[in-house]
Structure 1
Amino acid sequence: MKDASWSIVTTMHGIPETLLPCIAHHLQSDAQAIHVYLDAPNPVVEAALAPHPRVIVTLCDAAYWQSHQMPRPAGVVRRQITNLHHARSHSTSDWMVHIDADEFLVPARPHAAKSDTALSLGRELAMVPDDIDWVRIRNMERLLPPAAPRTEAEAGAETIFDGIFREQSPDTALIRQAYGQAAQYLLNGFAGYIRGKIGLRRDSLLVPRLHDVLTPELARQRGRQKGAFAPKLSELPPFRVIENTRILHFDGWTALHWTCKLLRFVEMQNFNGHHQGRRNSVRFMADHPDPAERLALFDAVQRLSDTGLAVLSRHGLLRLTPFSAEALTRATFPDVALNFTSASFDARLRAADPNFFARHGGLMPEGAESYAKG
């Protein structure tokens, strides 16, 4: 059977250290093309991608949105979906797979290939029946192992890729056992999304979203309904779950970054999106301005205790194989100066929006947000 062709679509905004790894990693896959939509000008990234013919870069500037006969949508999700439709209209691939810059497609079994960078999704997509137009690719979520004493040098060497990965579980008793009181900030053991990401046949009439697809009728119903719209999986068009591929999701590159993400929702007074656990986390950030309490929430939600490590390990819910795209990114883009340390990332995060940090009292003392504790 001939492998299906597939392409990646991603809307990106950030620094080279958080954008180029995703591209370098997926250039090692059998993806036919990577459609990169830059949400803002990024000369360093644009220059780095120019020599790579499989990477199709679109700058989402005023002219781009004018070509869509619409102003730039205020919501990032609307921009992402618009870009997905644009990529479909310019692609020849059988399938389109939508991911973000903090997501990496890898073999479900770490040792199924020589490394996590070797991925062949086309073979599995070719096996999807003709009457099935979309697939779900399940995600795993990065978290940190139990804290251990580290030297100053070891702490300074920590990178944005450090950590292990957890699988989700609907077993609420198990999640409470693993996380204790912090279970209220999770759903199925995840702090972020639980539905994975989608692959969609390029010529399908179904209506894509970030984590599922709708029939045209469901889409019309969505248009009439205010607030979150989350139909049950049983209400969605028929789909297949991809078994041999996972998404590794970095829900916040550092503790400071994760806190900033939640505080953006606080500033928008958005307490109704995502799942109940995430909403509880956003509410906690709104109600607890103390930096120490915010860091404690991160540790409770995104770092395992010794008990949690034992519980999740016993039930096969951890992927302990390290993942890092540092060396591959440097090799793929040798002319770009890159610094993947958490300290460097946090410094650039603070410098990028000083007014945001001023509004929130600095969020955390510099250095306190380091992953190293002990």
Structure 2
Amino acid sequence: MFIYLDEPNPAAQSVLENHPKCRVTLCDTAHWKMLIGKRPVKHQSRQTLNATHAYGRAGDVDWLAHIDVDEFLVSDSPVAEHLADVPPQVETARARPMEMLGGDGTAFKRFIPNGPRRERIVNAVYPTFGEYIKGGFLSHLVSKVFVRTGMEGITIRIHNAFRGSEMIEGTQELSELRLAHAHAKSWEDWQAAYRFRLEKGSYRADLGPAKPACAAG
């Protein structure tokens, strides 16, 4: 596991560095100078750079995925078994999200695939707010991607992988592996994160709306 500490946390760093399966990087001035010259302002850019940096160091694993601190992989069998079933010519595999409903963290709502029926299904399942948030999710509907290691010219972004300027296509859906997203563990937790998400995160105005704006006629 590659862990990048965006801010100093000596206590966490000490514990993690003592774990034989963790490789910890403190994202200090020296780290950013080595990667790009200076620390990027947007945390999304920092995540992309760190994920790509980890890919270049991942010679002892077969797959690598970028997972946020509030995301967890859920499966009835080991993750390695799902990845072992991916055909050798396929370079990426995807785990679709499910979103925590709050409470004790044991209930999640599942992803509804895109298609001509999704809007009707979402509005039926979530009649009070389905019209306003995409797919009925407060958080992202996009999967997280596992990428085969050992390839050249790879850039890892938050939800996709690129070879040069081209996104890697032909991904494998990991239908029995879920990405459990603890985006809003409680009303208070969501409120605490709301302002940051509105200004810098997943609720930014420059992201696509739940529904395309109607053209003026």
2:211 aligned with 1:264: no
CA shift in 2, pair 1:167/1:80, >3 Å:
same
Task: Report if the CA contact (8 A) 2:4-2:27 is conserved.
Answer: yes
Q: Secondary structure at the match of 2:173?
A: strand
> Which runs of structure 2 are paired with 1:275-290 in the superposition (5 Å)?
275-277=208-210
Task: Report if the CA contact (8 A) 2:100-2:185 is conserved.
Answer: no
Tell me the C-alpha RMSD between the 2 structures: 2.5
Task: Report if the CA contact (8 A) 1:192-1:278 is conserved.
Answer: no
Q: Give the Å deviation of 1:43.
A: 2.0
Counterpart residue number, 2:67: 99
Q: Secondary structure at the match of 2:55?
A: helix
Task: Report if the CA contact (8 A) 1:140-1:167 is conserved.
Answer: yes
2:163 aligned with 1:212: no
Counterpart residue number, 2:215: none
2:158 aligned with 1:200: no
Residues 70-128 of structure 1 deviation map (CA, whole Å, 9 limit, x = unaligned): 21111111111111121122222111011011011111xxxx3xxxxxx5222222222
Cα distance in 1, alignment partners of residues 58 and 111 from structure 2: 33
The structure number with the bigger radius of gyration is 1
Give the counterpart of 2:84 among 118, 126, 138.
126
Counterpart residue number, 1:312: none
2:15 aligned with 1:48: yes
Cα distance in 2, alignment partners of residues 106 and 202 from structure 1: 22
Aligned-residue sequence identity (percent) comes to: 27
TM-score w.r.t. the length of structure 2 is 0.83
Give the number of aligned pairs. 204
In structure 2, stretches of 5+ residues that fail to align are 213-217
Q: Give the Å deviation of 1:206.
A: 4.4
Residues 186-207 of structure 1 deviation map (CA, whole Å, 9 limit, x = unaligned): 2222221112101001123443
Task: Report if the CA contact (8 A) 1:265-1:271 is conserved.
Answer: no
> Which runs of structure 2 are paired with 1:81-120 in the superposition (5 Å)?
81-92=48-59, 93-107=61-75, 112=76, 120=78
Residues 282-332 of structure 1 deviation map (CA, whole Å, 9 limit, x = unaligned): xxxxxxxxxxxxxxxxxxxxxxxxxxxxxxxxxxxxxxxxxxxxxxxxxxx
Cα distance in 2, alignment partners of residues 102 and 139 from structure 1: 12
Task: Report if the CA contact (8 A) 1:191-1:277 is conserved.
Answer: no
Q: Which amino acid aligns with 1:78?
A: S
Q: Give the Å deviation of 1:249.
A: 0.5
2:93 aligned with 1:141: no
CA shift in 2, pair 1:217/1:51, >3 Å:
closer
Q: Which amino acid aligns with 1:270?
A: R
Cα distance in 2, alignment partners of residues 207 and 79 from structure 1: 13
Counterpart residue number, 2:105: 162
Q: Which has more helix, going by share of residues?
A: 1
Cα distance in 2, alignment partners of residues 211 and 97 from structure 1: 9
CA shift in 2, pair 1:45/1:254, >3 Å:
farther
Cα distance in 1, alignment partners of residues 209 and 137 from structure 2: 11
Task: Report if the CA contact (8 A) 2:105-2:185 is conserved.
Answer: no
Q: Which amino acid aligns with 2:193?
A: K
In structure 1, stretches of 5+ residues that fail to align are 1-33, 113-118, 145-157, 220-235, 280-374
Give the counterpart of 1:243 among 168, 175, 180.
175
Give the counterpart of 1:185 among 129, 132, 138.
132
Task: Report if the CA contact (8 A) 1:192-1:251 is conserved.
Answer: yes
